[in-house]
Structure 1
Amino acid sequence: MHITRSRFLRQWALGLLSFICVLTFAACGSGTPSTNTPNPADTGETSGNTTLRVALDPTFPPFQTTTSGGGFEGFDIDLINAIAEAEGLTLDMQGLPFDGIIPALQAGTVDLTISTMTITPERAQVVDFSRPYFKSGQAIAVQESNSDITSYDALAGKRIAVQIGTVGADQANKANAADVRTFDNTPLALQELANGNVDAVIGDAPVILYAIKSGSASGIKVAGELLTEEYYGIAAPKNSPNLEAINAGLATLLENGTYREIYQKWFSGEPSELPEQAPI
């Protein structure tokens, strides 16, 4: 009888312990996320209240430049602000050298760039682009007295100044030039031309034409025809969820006339028709 009662007590104690363990496990498990629940950081989802860090190179008037008060102004600035307003986005604009912007996008230290960045196949391999927001092309600038350089072929054996990391730099490196000098921005390259230290500059046509019109680069002219037909895009890291809102906002501005208003604030004439995708 004593043995039977002891055995019963042991079995009862073991059963009670098992029951407590089950309750404890269930209680602990209820606060633990399932292994099948995705982490928002892993899915790339962003909160509607997220501030987007926008990189730009403020040395490219009339697209972007620094104001006397330390802010930014230009066509690109007005455009990205209008897109943000249309989509309810908050922006934090940060100035960076142009050749450092794509590395910053790849490193995730910025979320977007609107910096007159030409959409190219090479860039599209490492970043994603919005639909085109501006039609442009590469132009050759020479001194007004220059009559020798009238085409791209005439650049062979010449001294050329360019902005580092640009399509203009790529064009110059293929021109069989005697010397290609790189600068941090196009205005510095144009000043090198105005001073007679180089024979030509290759750069974005709107920037060169604006420099001539505003008088910031004196005694120069555009030679020959545009070398390329290009489109600028707003770039983001690969698979960024932010481009959907950017494209939607840009489409709204194109449809409601806001894009045209911004264009005519900074340029003369009518804006070019823009495709939904760049022909690259």
Structure 2
Amino acid sequence: MKLFFKLFFGVATLATLALSQTIKVGTNATYPPFEFINEQNQITGFDIDLISEISKIAGFKFEIVNISFDALIPALKAGKIDIIASAMSATPIRAKAVDFSKPYYNTMNLFIKRADNKDLTKLEQLEGKKISVQLGTVQELAAREIKSAKVMTIDEIFGAVMAVKNSKADALIVDSSIGYGYLKQNPDLAEFLILPDGSDGFSFAFDKNKNKELQAKVDNAIDELKRNGTYDKLLIKYDLK
């Protein structure tokens, strides 16, 4: 009986340690409204709030690690972070290296040009044109599939937007979820095409086959947040609904 209690206490202690472990969440805080740095110099956004709500249900503490988008998966594979929460589209190519949570937001590829560009109206007209994209995104892949396109990869989406505004690029391909926000703020830009992005939607990422328990907890928490209305409240908060 004493041995049983010792074993039980040991298991309980390990469980407590697991719950108290601080999870490192990697993001690239240049992608409003999903992740960005606010006026108080704090990293915030839909993904950050969603992870915060998930942590309350799943029972873990977390800290945010802000790095470039193209460095997120390498950081995950190297064990420097435990989760990627950065509006990352779940694609078959990425799924070879990471495990994805169930999708929590669906988006499309939005094609944007300068409003005074009357010649650009369809995909075929982008052949041979300069296209700006954020480095490491599914939009970069889409741009590279366009025949003879000159793809400008830029670390931050703001820079990719500015490339079109300043006539350094003919068009921009961006997630519709944030692209429409930039269109509202920039009347000199205009949408001319929207297409599926070939992914299952935005998902949280975990190192391949190494964090199944945490992944399951995150999936269950996403379901619960959708059931109890918290998820919809966050969509409204960030003008995503």
Query: TM-score interval w.r.t. the shorter chain?
Result: 0.7 to 0.9
Question: Matched residues in 1 for 2:137 and 2:179: separation?
Answer: 14
Structure 1 equivalent of residue 197 of structure 2? 228
Give the drift of 1:265: 1.0
Structure 1 equivalent of residue 169 of structure 2? 198
Give the drift of 1:203: 1.3
- Is 1:136–2:107 an aligned residue pair? yes
- Is 1:238–2:208 an aligned residue pair? yes
Please tell me the residue identity of whatever aligns with 1:139: L
Match of residue 107, structure 1, among 78, 90, 97? 78
Give the drift of 1:229: 5.4
Match of residue 254, structure 1, among 226, 229, 233? 226
Compared CA separation, residues 247 and 138, structure 1 to 2 (3 A): same
Give the drift of 1:226: 2.5
Deviation track 1:170-194 (CA, whole Å, cap 9, x = no partner) reads 0111112441111001111000100
- Residues 24, 65 of structure 2: 8 Å contact kept: yes
Question: Matched residues in 1 for 2:187 and 2:49: separation?
Answer: 27
Give the drift of 1:218: 4.8
Give the drift of 1:89: 1.6
Give the drift of 1:197: 1.0
Question: What secondary structure, in the 3-state scheme, does the structure 2 residue paired with 1:134 have?
Answer: coil
Q: Which runs of 5+ in 2 are unaligned?
A: 1-10, 12-16
- Residues 114, 189 of structure 2: 8 Å contact kept: yes
- Residues 149, 223 of structure 1: 8 Å contact kept: yes
Question: Matched residues in 2 for 1:142 and 1:227: separation?
Answer: 18
> TM-score if structure 1 supplies the norm length?
0.76
Give the drift of 1:266: 1.0
Q: Provide the identity percentage.
A: 31
Compared CA separation, residues 245 and 227, structure 1 to 2 (3 A): closer
- Residues 152, 227 of structure 1: 8 Å contact kept: no
Question: Matched residues in 2 for 1:229 and 1:222: separation?
Answer: 19
Please tell me the residue identity of whatever aligns with 1:233: S
Q: Which runs of 5+ in 1 are unaligned?
A: 1-39, 41-45, 270-280
Deviation track 1:51-109 (CA, whole Å, cap 9, x = no partner) reads 10000000000111012333111111111111111222201111010000000011111
Question: Matched residues in 1 for 2:36 and 2:73: separation?
Answer: 19
- Aligned pairs, number: 223
Please tell me the residue identity of whatever aligns with 1:70: N
